[in-house]
Amino acid sequence: MKKIILYLIMATSILGAQLVDGEYSVQQEGYPRGWASTARIRIEDGKIVEITTNKMDIDGELVSEDVEYNEKMLAKKGTNPKEYSVVLPQNLMESLKRSHVMTGESVKKDDFHLPEIDIIAGATSSSKKFKKMMEFLVEKAESGETGNHRMKL
């Protein structure tokens, strides 16, 4: 399976706040095509330590666990939710670690900058939704608004 990863550098600079410890989650409003995109971050000591993303149906079933859906999408697009629901958060976590190591900046610095987020070919729409959800969750983490949130995507 060939996978092409395109890089999208986030232009968003998030200024003037440290991330507040806690768990922050967001779910897309509605269930377009039967699935709502979801994401969650966990903040400890002012830094992101865990990121998850997936899609769920109205019954709470995860798309990454829907065998038939994953097989069909893999055959058509070359990727599937089972794969990209792991790869997107993993790539962002690696970028976060690199950005602070390479720049020498403290993760607890007052100005937090979200690094690039990889877009996965075949999952462009899901990748873009993931980016928007991460921006949303970082804003919530800056203000300390923990909990479950909803947003239009």
Q: What is the pLDDT of residues 18-38, one digit of tens each?
A: 899 999 999 999 999 999 999
Taking residue 76's Cβ as centre, other Cβ atoms within 10 Å add up to 10
- CA 123 to CA 35: how far, in whole Å? 14
Query: Could you give the 3-state DSSP secondary structure of residue 31?
Result: coil
CA-closest candidate to residue 57, choices 78, 87, 37, 80: 37
Distance of CA 13 to the CA centre of its chain: 17
Q: What is the mean pLDDT of the chain?
A: 81
CA-closest candidate to residue 19, choices 40, 56, 47, 42: 47
In the chain, % of residues over pLDDT 70 = 75
Mean pLDDT of 115-138: 83
Strands (E), the chain: 5-8, 13-14, 22-28, 36-44, 47-56, 112-113, 117-120, 147-151
Yes or no: say if 4 and 121 are a contact pair by the CB < 8 Å rule.
yes
Strands 22-28 and 147-151: parallel
CATH number assigned to the domain comprising residue 37: 3.90.1010.20
pTM of the model: 0.79
pLDDT above 60 (res 13): no
Number of structural domains in the chain: 1
pLDDT in tens, 84-107: 999 999 988 988 888 764 444 444
Q: Which pLDDT score is estimated for 105?
A: 47
- CA 112 to CA 100: how far, in whole Å? 10
Q: CA gyration radius for the chain?
A: 16
Question: Residue 40: which domain range?
Answer: 5-151
